[in-house]
Structure 1
Amino acid sequence: MSDAPQTVLTVDDERSLTELYAAWLSDTYEVRQANSAADALRTVASGLDPDVVLLDRQMPQMTGDDVLTELRAEGVDCPVVMVTAVDPGFDIVSMPFDDYLVKPVTNEEVQRTIAASLTRGTYDEQVRRYFTLARKKAVLEASSAVSDRHSNPTYQELRRELEQVSHTADRTRDELLRPGRPLECN
């Protein structure tokens, strides 16, 4: 295990925000700043393998949604936190991000979200999927822009999938804790 700090890539077209995030995070993480979608994609293409990405949704020339799609297509598998002034809609359900913060954000909120994202990143895929779905459901439920969620088919599908993943995780846990089953150590 390396003693090098984990790397956070902050992506926002407002330089003052990437500088603020860097000031908040630089005592704990190596922070790289990108002030455009193109800059973010170049930074990753140059070999940066971030541990977490903070990504704005509203940027000129290319949206954060498009950057996210490109990052995933390039194999960037780290947690991505959308940090944006865009109130979430049902479109977030299909987006491959890990958490969603609505601006304005506080230092504590950003620190807590990055720490949680890094912790979740160590879990197996099943647990990560559960946390991702649960977080999306919580974001939608907290959004004042989404008032008709209970009648929305996308939201209903999210709830069904979350329930299914939860049951699968419970069965896996029960199987792993079954008496007489030898514990496996890695």
Structure 2
Amino acid sequence: MDKGTVQQTDQQINKASNSKVIKKLVLVVFAMFGFGFALVPLYDVFCDITGLNGKTNDVAVTYADNGIDSSRTVKVQFITRTAQGIPWKFEPVINEISVHPGEMKFVNFYAKNNAQREIIGQAVPSVSPGLAAGYFQKIECFCFTQQPLMPGEEVEMGLQFYVDLELPSEITTLTLSYTLYDITDKNDA
């Protein structure tokens, strides 16, 4: 075999090898893309199984007056935080309250805009332990709506809720956590 034939054969082998590598890389890219789409439902299933990520209802429920279980007391703790970049003071007026399952309660949260511009805030709730999230029923909540505040403006925002009678008896403490986000730019669009 002459030198030209050897080079041509090497080029054909390299082309075939490169073609296989490109096909594998394209397959990996599509697999990664598909995995990215599957992450949200997989995360939801994982959270349902483990009881993590205590998502609460994001719409108001009607108060189910099925009585009050006065033999049980559940401590409900309130925690707030502001996301990075929102210069608000945001805190619960009271840090915890004791409730009987089935009993309706009303609490307030305080917010003040310390910025020099109007900011629209949105609070996102989470309940811990996650298993209890389905039993924490919000009748009225400031988290259902956006909260626009002018510079220096302060407000008390209400939460009306009850703990469902079906809450498992081993759960004696719930923690309701709110994270406040600045959504001003999203409203301008």
TM-score tier (shorter): under 0.3
TM-score normalized with structure 2 length: 0.22
In proportion to residue count, which structure has more helix? 1
TM-score normalized with structure 1 length: 0.22
**More relative contact order, 1 or 2 (CA 8 Å, 6+ apart):** 2
In proportion to residue count, which structure has more strand? 2
Larger Cα-atom Rg: 2
